[in-house]
Amino acid sequence: MKVNDSWLAWAVLVLTLTFSSLCAAQTQGGESEDSRWFTIDTLNNGLGAPPEEVNRVTPREAIRSFLDLTDQDEYEAAAHMLNLAEFSDEEQREQGSELARQLAEIFQRGEWLTVSDLPGREDAVIEDPAGQNPRVGETRRNVEVSSLKADGETYDIRLGRYRVGEQEPVWLIMPISVSYIPVLYEQYGPSMLESYIPERLQSSFGILRIWEWIAIPVFLLFIVMVGWGVHRLIGLMSKWLPSGMSSIFASQIGMPAALIAMSLVTQMLLDYVVSFSAVATTTFRVLLISILAWGVGTIALRLVDTIMLRLTRRIVGEIDDTKPRDERRLLTSLYALRRAIILITVTGVSIYILGQVQLFETLGLSILASASVLAVLVGVAGQTVLGNILSSFQLSFAKPIRIGDLVIFEGEWCYVEGIFYTFIRLRSWDERRLIVPVTYFTSKPFQNLSVKSTKMYRFLELTLHLSADIGLLRDKFIEFAKEEDSVIEHHKLLCYVTAQTGTAQTVTCYLMTSDPLAGWTAEMNVREKLLAFIRDNHPEWWPRDIVVISHNDIARGSQGKSSGEMDSVEVKPSE
């Protein structure tokens, strides 16, 4: 009995699972069916049957058919591309053609519409040859055609796939998008100025209308004149202002201020005076955003440069290593801050421009697939530039050199005048400027004569006869060295014989100087004074060549001479 009951329970369980699986399959099939289109009972009954030239099979063909019909002013036929479900039959007949005409104007003047970017399949399946989109292969029942802004709000024009009963599904502008048409037409419709343009000039010629080919050059000429006037006004203001930081700042912002004025006036004219086609409007919009962002960023950088100039003049003054190390370190930090501000400004402006022009949305997801390849190409092409930028930041923060340091680079005595993104500017002792790439500078050994202290030991060498009085020469050296203002730490003045040959001796004198260039001058002065002293008072100290004509020891005098022998003769070297 128990065995029979268990078999009965197993049979009931199997039947239950089978029935639930069938129900789930039916439910899934129903959802799959609904995900491909919107099921409706009626479609635009007030418009009557659609003409044969209306093609609504795919999103691409639907929009292409709509644009072709509106180009031929067949707005009644084009109204069949709109889902007018929110209107009564009578309203559909009265307003359908007008809504189609307004939508055609919106497409013509709004965002630049590329029909080929729309799906060309009936089910609008997501295609991605690169395989980067996780939704690849998914069918859609609505797609976005365009996204436009009006009064600060964003409105999407979307196509939906609709099926009436057992008829073939068609693609139409969705009812919610149809309701946006009056608002968008108020923003993108013809301007008041266009009502005065003759009808024959409003026909299309290429990508623009005939009147636009005439109006755009005049429009640009007017904008250029506005920019020239602003630039001229800023130049006059820089001359009127008293000399100082304000006049310097005004003289540097003429061009960016003119560009900002040009972009603002252009935007105002496009909003309130004239409205061009989408291709011209899109081009102007991208240029206006780029110019405006560049102008604001440039003015900000000019302000930073002016503040840095004022701080440099007030705190540091002339750039050399005679200034205290803290002041030169401050100037180096200011230059590093300037580069950081430039980097932040460029990054911010780039992000702002990309966000405003919606570059990634326009290009689509395919740009993301090629982002890695683009990054590699940019990295290879800009390797030198990026290396210089990183090296400049390393120099600014590690500070092996500072602005105003005296360095010896490849045998040249130079002051460091500036550390920029990609190069270092050096001022040589003879007022020449050396422009050295940062990576090249850091890859070569150099001497920083100011890294710890500007003090420097200098030395001079004199080659004298063996009979020279070193004690007297040492006293004169100390006397002459103390007369030099740049010679410091007099207790470190030294004078010794450092080498000797059979006919001469080398005397080396050491002196401590306050800075390298002043030390070089002091060394030259002391050498000249010592040479003058020897020339005027002890010319016999000059080294001489000795020709031996006798093997007698002349140190013993005449006592060691024998008849017929001759003494050695000292012969001064010819000058």
- Which residue, chain included where needed, has tokens 């207790």? 491
pLDDT of residue 160: 93
DSSP state of 467: T
Q: Is the pTM of this model over 0.75?
A: no
Q: Rounded CA gap, 481 and 488, in Å?
A: 9
Residues in Cβ contact with 473 at an 8 Å cutoff, skipping those fewer than 6 apart: 462, 464, 495, 507, 530, 534
Decide: helix, strand or coil at residue 234.
helix
Q: How many CB atoms lie within 10 A of CB 58?
A: 20
pLDDT string in tens for the chain (575-residue length): 444 455 555 554 445 544 444 343 333 333 334 678 899 888 888 888 888 888 899 999 999 999 889 888 898 999 999 999 889 888 888 899 999 998 988 887 777 677 888 888 888 887 766 566 667 778 889 999 988 888 778 899 999 999 998 888 999 999 999 999 999 888 887 776 666 677 677 676 766 777 778 888 888 898 889 989 988 898 888 888 877 777 878 888 888 888 889 888 888 887 777 777 666 777 777 788 778 888 887 888 788 777 776 766 665 555 555 555 566 666 667 667 766 777 777 777 677 666 665 544 444 444 444 444 445 545 554 456 666 666 666 676 667 777 778 888 888 888 888 777 678 888 887 788 888 888 888 888 888 877 666 677 788 899 999 889 999 999 999 999 999 888 888 888 999 999 998 889 999 999 988 877 788 889 999 999 999 999 999 999 988 776 666 556 555 555 545 544 445 445 555 44
- Which residue, chain included where needed, has tokens 């007018």? 84
Structure token digits, residue 320 = 């050399």
> Three-state SS string across 520-566, please?
HHHHHHHHHHHHHHHHHHCHHHCCCEEECCCCCCHHHHHHHCCCCCC
Closest by CA to 282, choosing from 402, 147, 109, 143, is: 109
pLDDT of residue 361: 46
Which residue type does 422 have? T
- Which residue, chain included where needed, has tokens 């072709």? 68
Q: What are phi and psi of 507, to 5 degrees?
A: -110, 125
pLDDT of residue 30: 35
Decide: helix, strand or coil at residue 435.
strand
Rg (CA), the chain: 45
Burial level of 305, CB count in 10 A (0-12/13-18/19+)? middle
pLDDT tens-digit profile of 415-448? 888 777 678 888 887 788 888 888 888 888 888 8
pLDDT tens-digit profile of 381-395? 445 666 666 666 667
Long-range pairs of 338-341 with CB within 8 A, sequence gap ≥ 24: 338/301, 338/304, 338/305, 338/308, 339/392, 339/393, 339/396, 339/420, 339/421, 341/300, 341/301, 341/304
Q: Rounded CA gap, 403 and 405, in Å?
A: 6
pLDDT of residue 99: 92
pLDDT of residue 510: 92
Q: Rounded CA gap, 241 and 235, in Å?
A: 10
